[in-house]
Amino acid sequence: MTERITKSMAKNIYYGGGLFALLIFAGLTFDTVKQIPERSNQVAMTESVVHGKSLWEKNNCVGCHTILGEGAYYAPELGNVFKRRGASDATTFKSFMQGWMAAQPLAIPDRRKMPQFNLTETEVNSLADFLIWTSKIDTNEWPPTIEG
Ligand code: HEC
């Protein structure tokens, strides 16, 4: 007689396997959620960072840019623009941001344009603070290159 899997064996595999996968899923979810406050660098979220985030949304920067991979692929990723254009120094980056935002749109032919938003100096500094804060989120070294 050939060995056969009985109905109750199949049931045990189904329920046992299901429960096992569910427990792993719950464990990993708990582990991830527990790490969020530290990885997102929440303590450094100042009022200026929050203001910068609201300006980011109001002006639809994400309609052209990605931030940590989310958004549109028309313009450069900005999750790491602090490292790319500010050499990870806040003063350097803020002066880059003031210059960059004021100079738009660049009069360079055949180059994608960024609009002029007419933001105040304080608003640009807040956007810079938001981008600095974002660059310090622990993303497991993502994006992989400084240019993207
Ligand atoms: C209509 C599309 C568009 C919108 C909306 C937009 N940008 Fe841009 N942005 C661009 C393009 C295109 C470039 C690249 C231009 C170039 O290199 O000449 C760019 C470049 C940048 C850079 C420089 C990136 C680098 O690596 O040098 C920064 C910083 C930036 N944008 C910030 C912002 C912020 C902040 C907002 C929202 C207030 C915004 N952008 C909204 C199109 C856009």
- In contact, 75 and 112? CB cutoff 8 Å: yes
Low pLDDT (below 70) residues in the chain: 1
Question: What are the angstrom distances between the C-alpha of 1 and each of 4, 7, 114, 132?
Answer: 9, 17, 76, 71
Query: With a 6 A CB cut-off, is 127 part of the ligand 1 pocket?
Result: yes
Span 96-136, pLDDT tens digits: 999 999 999 999 999 999 999 999 999 999 999 999 999 99
What is the predicted pLDDT for the residue at 39? 93
What is the predicted pLDDT for the residue at 148? 73
CATH topology of domain 44-148: Cytochrome Bc1 Complex; Chain D, domain 2 (1.10.760)
pTM for the full predicted model? 0.88
Percent of the residues in the chain that have a pLDDT greater than 90, as a whole number: 91
**DSSP codes of every residue in the chain:** ------HHHHHHHHHHHHHHHHHHHHHHHHHHHHHHHHHTTGGG--HHHHHHHHHHHHTTGGGT-EETTEE-SSS---TTHHHHHHTT-HHHHHHHHHHHHHHPSP--TTS---------HHHHHHHHHHHHHHHTS--SS-SSSTT-
Q: Is 13 left (phi over 0), alpha (psi -120 to 50) or beta?
A: alpha
Pocket test for ligand 1, best of 100, 108, 114, 127 (most atoms within 8 A of CB): 114
138 Cα–ligand 1 center, Å:
23
Residues facing residue 109 across a β-bridge: none
